[in-house]
Amino acid sequence: MSTVIEDVIARKVFNSRGEETIEVDVITTSGFGRASAPAGESRGRAEVVYYPQGGVDEAIRKVEELISPELVGFNADFQEEIDKTLHKIDNTRNFRIIGGNTAFAVSLANAEAAANSYGLPLFQYLGGYAAHELPYPLGNIISGGKHTSGKSPDVQEFLAIPYGADSFLEAATANVQIHSKVKEVLRKKDKLFSSGRSDEGAWVANITDLEAFEIMASTCEKVSNELGFKCGFGIDVAASSFWNAKKKKYVYERNEKELGPGEQLEFIQQLIEKYHLVYVEDPFHEEDYESFAELTKKVKNCLICGDDLFATNNERLTHGIRMRATNAIIIKVNQVGTLTDALDTIETAKRAGYVPVMSHRSGDTCDWHIAHLAVAFKCPIIKTGVVEGARVAKINELLRIEEFLGERAKMAELHIS
């Protein structure tokens, strides 16, 4: 079976926010792959540059003039060589010449083209026959912070994770039910609630952080009792977005309070203990490894996860591991550019006992690749929303994978309680 690349084609498409982004097709002698790049609203400073100067139009030009001529003739199943070539063409640490999203789209489309050439689903091509574990879906239910405007919580995301489910279908169903029941509670709580939703399909309402915690706790307990398995919840604080470096304080504008690093640590610890949180992402700003380490040491049965802290960067993760900063890491391939870069980070995380969490971006497309990557690379959790179209694309693809695996399918091992 030939995987020789015959053409690499780029075009402009739109993400779920209506922003321009790049989509790439890789065509081999006997296969085809397509991938489009997402965009985050809350971005870590260590992320690669999304696009070169000139934006998506310039990125397309780079594909046509630099990348396609270089890659034509390569074998698509030499993924590492393809990704090394993208680095060589760019020749910067942060992909500012061709753009990290350009590298991402080419890299993922190439992997799919190789899989398609062999007649294999992507997860099986990348992970082999041993890839048969489904991740637990971590879904955004209530939005705040940079994902909203006006009166809403300071905390960016309130997330459900049905970690007691026996199948992905059960887990996805639980998240949908939690999402639906929270809507009914918000209607009673906020008389002006208009069923508004954020980019990720989570509810936006005029409530405080503490009200959101109470709503999530009671709703998750109710759904747990109805379905007969444990549904927990957690938060993405996105603390870098309200860290004031001059004041050296976390400024909670909507809740009208300011907390120093020590007070922030105490506050987060109290929330974990009071609400039995099983997941906390970015509770401190992206350079405060010390506070991450202190919180991780103090709490039990809770994943302390770094997103902006690590930006899927292997060097930053290695530093975090030395400091024992967290016990989980968000994996966003477009934060580092290529599939090979992301896999290196995942492998480093696993060797250290960290839980890798495969993740979407707030401005995403209906591209489904991360569903396959979560299964292929044995990520126990996938963060991918609940109901919005770009999120449902990933959820539905995981349902198809579960069906494809049949009796071999099982949920990943996840020890958080």
SS3 of the chain: the string is: CCCEEEEEEEEEEECCCCCEEEEEEEEECCCEEEEECCECCCCCCCCCCCCCCCHHHHHHHHHHHHHHHHHCCCECCCHHHHHHHHHHHHCCCCCCCCCHHHHHHHHHHHHHHHHHHCCCCHHHHHHCCCCCEECEEEEEEEECHHHCCCCCCCCCEEEEECCCCCCHHHHHHHHHHHHHHHHHHHHHHCCCCCCCECCCCCECCCCCHHHHHHHHHHHHHHHHHHHCCCCEEEEECCHHHHEECCCCEEEECCCCEEECHHHHHHHHHHHHHHHCCCEEECCCCCCCHHHHHHHHHHCCCCEEEECCCCCCCHHHHHHHHHCCCCCEEEECHHHHCCHHHHHHHHHHHHHCCCEEEEECCCECCCCCHHHHHHHHCCCCEEECCCCCHHHHHHHHHHHHHHHHHHHHCEECCCCCC
CATH 1.20.120.420 fits 133-411, yes or no: no
- The predicted structure's pLDDT at residue 256: 82
How far is it, in rounded angstroms, from Cα 380 to Cα 229?
17
Provide the percentage of residues in the chain whose pLDDT is more than 90: 90
Q: What's the pLDDT at 57?
A: 98
Residue 416 has pLDDT above 80, yes or no: no
The sign of the dihedral angle between the CA atoms of 100, 303, 296, 40 is: positive
Catalytic residues: 200, 332
Residue 42 pLDDT greater than 90, yes or no: no
417 versus 162: the higher-pLDDT residue is 162
Those residues whose C-beta lies under 8 Å from the C-beta of residue 55, and which sit 6 or more positions away, are 20
Q: What is the pLDDT of residue 187?
A: 93
Query: Which CATH code fits 5-119?
Result: 3.30.390.10
Amino acid at 7: D
58, exposed or middle or buried, with CB in 10 Å at 0-12, 13-18, 19+?
Answer: middle
> Each residue of 278-295: pLDDT tens digit?
999 999 999 999 999 999
Q: How confident is the model at residue 119 (pLDDT cuts 50, 70, 90)?
A: very high
pLDDT of 59 strictly over 70:
yes
Residue 145: is its pLDDT beyond 90?
Answer: no
Residue matched to tokens 């994770």: 161
Is residue 152 very low, low, confident or very high in pLDDT (cuts 50, 70, 90)? confident
Mean pLDDT of the chain: 95
Residue 147: predicted pLDDT: 60
Torsion angles phi and psi, residue 160, rounded to 5:
-100, 145
pLDDT score of 46: 84
pLDDT score of 149? 64
Query: 79-90 and 100-117 are packed helices; what angle lies between their axes, rounded to 10 degrees?
Result: 160
Q: Confidence band (pLDDT; 50, 70, 90) for 195?
A: confident
Contact assessment for residue 250 and residue 258, using Cβ atoms and an 8 Å cutoff? yes
Q: What is the pLDDT of residue 45?
A: 79
**And the tokens for 393?**
């694309």
Mean pLDDT throughout 366-386?
Answer: 97
Confidence of residue 415 (pLDDT cuts 50, 70, 90): confident
Report the distance separating Cα 265 and Cα 272, nearest Å: 11
Note the pLDDT of residue 253: 85
Q: Does position 378 have pLDDT exceeding 60, yes or no?
A: yes
Half-sphere exposure of 400 (CA within 13 A, CB side): 13
Domains of the chain, by residue range, sit at 5-119, 133-411
Model pTM score: 0.96
Cα dihedral value 283, 288, 293, 296, nearest 10: 0
> What are 179's two structure tokens?
């999402």
* pLDDT mean over 232-258: 92
Q: Which of 147-151, 155-159, 182-186, 357-361 has the lowest mean pLDDT?
A: 147-151
